[in-house]
Amino acid sequence: MNAGSYTEVSPPSRLAYKTLADFVPGVAPYEVATVVELKATADGAKLTITFDAMHDEVWTERARAGHESQMRKLDALLAAPIAP
């Protein structure tokens, strides 16, 4: 199996995919499903990411922190001035 595969692509509002969690020492590889949804709001757009819990709470929290880190990077990129 590939490390990831798209399970749903519904432009412009929904993207779902599965990735293979094969990097945890002592834990057999398993799939993690993720759904990304975009909804228009009065102020722009709302992005929601939902993902499967991982094999324990520590790794689930690490995954949540990783998603949040990526969203902060996106916020910074979108807030940056556009070069001429």
Mind listing the pLDDT tens digit for each residue in 33-55?
Answer: 999 999 999 998 899 999 999 99
Task: Calculate mean pLDDT across residues 5-30.
Answer: 95
The position carrying tokens 């929290």 is 61
Residue 62: band (very low, low, confident or very high) from pLDDT cuts 50, 70, 90:
very high
Total-model pTM: 0.82
Is the preceding omega at residue 12 within 30 degrees of 0, hence cis?
Answer: yes
pLDDT higher than 80, residue 82 = yes
Asked whether 20 and 33 are in contact (CB, 8 A), the reply is no
